[in-house]
Amino acid sequence: MRTAKVQRLRAGALCLPALLLLLVAQLRAGPMCGPGDRWIDTCSAGTSALWAIATLTLDLDGSGPRGVPLEGVLVLRNGPPSGGVMDTEIVQMDLTGNSPTFGAVHLRAGRGLFHLPPCGGRPSVGRATQDPVAPGYAESFFDVFFEIDITPSGGDALRLCNPDDGDALHLSARVDRWPPMNVEMFANPVLVVDEDDDRRGTAGLALTLVPEPSSLVLAVGAAALIFFLHRRKPL
């Protein structure tokens, strides 16, 4: 009984950072800009929360590429535009999923709002640049430095990162608005290492961004948190 109570409290505590993350992002959100010609120059600086549906492709220890479905929150920040160019950043990427090959998989990136940055703290920055020939579009990219936690159902957990001298995941897409909703961003595989800095294989990523149903997430999450706290009794 004691164990069950502790698990409920821990689950409630884990809900809180995600709820606060979504709330802060929505409160600070800039207005959407685009579509239309030269839409980048109409953007305002701000922060936006979206939902990401992704496939992480892992090729570890020569086993061959295996796709892992992930989903979760992506928080983007954009600066003010200048001359058809806008600096951008992934503040937080927090994606989770399960694979029959690897078990539970958790991908994190960005400087974060509630925890230390993954893998040395390198920011995942990017840029959106208006196409001079087709001004209704922009070429957008992010250079993503990430951390992957793999927890198999049996066996030891594994943490993977970009090596210190390795390449970022270069996520790119052609977009006609910001934030870039309903568009797939793709990155070719890059080298990954474990915590001992041993090479373990490669990781690639493809993700589609969709509008974050923040009000629903906040309502459900808040209800869950209240449930856990309401049932709290002296241990």
- Average pLDDT taken over every residue of the chain: 79
pLDDT value at residue 5: 46
Is 169 a member of any domain?
yes
Quote the pLDDT of residue 156. 84
Q: Is residue 1 part of a domain?
A: no
- Let me know if residue 10 belongs to a domain: no
d(CA 54, CA 207): 4
When pLDDT is cut at 50, 70 and 90, the band that residue 26 belongs to is very low
Determine if the pTM surpasses 0.85.
no
Around Cβ 65, how many Cβ atoms within 10 Å?
13
Q: Which domain holds residue 67?
A: 32-212
**Using an 8 Å Cβ cutoff, are 124 and 108 in contact?**
no
Distance from C-alpha of 201 to C-alpha of 189, rounded to nearest angstrom: 9
Return the CATH number at 115: 2.40.160
For 128-138, the pLDDT digits (tens) are 999 999 999 99
**What digits encode the pLDDT tens for the residues 89-140?**
999 999 999 999 899 999 999 886 555 555 656 889 999 999 999 999 999 9
Tell me if 220 is assigned to some domain. no
Instruction: Count the domains in the chain.
Output: 1
Rounded Cα distance between 70 and 39, Å, is 31
> Are 44 and 28 a contacting pair, CB within 8 Å?
no
Q: Is the pLDDT of residue 233 over 50?
A: no
- With cut-offs at 50, 70 and 90, classify the pLDDT of residue 212: low
Q: Please, are residues 41 and 84 in contact by the beta-carbon 8 Å criterion?
A: yes
Q: Is residue 223 part of a domain?
A: no
Q: Which pLDDT band, with edges at 50, 70 and 90, does 34 fall under?
A: confident
pLDDT score for 29: 45
Would 221 be classed as within a structural domain? no
Q: Within a domain: residue 13?
A: no
Q: Dihedral sign for Cα 185, 72, 176, 113, please.
A: negative
Per the model's pLDDT, the better-predicted residue between 75 and 155 turns out to be 75
Does residue 224 fall inside a structural domain?
Answer: no
Predicted pLDDT at 137: 94
- DSSP SS3 for 63: coil
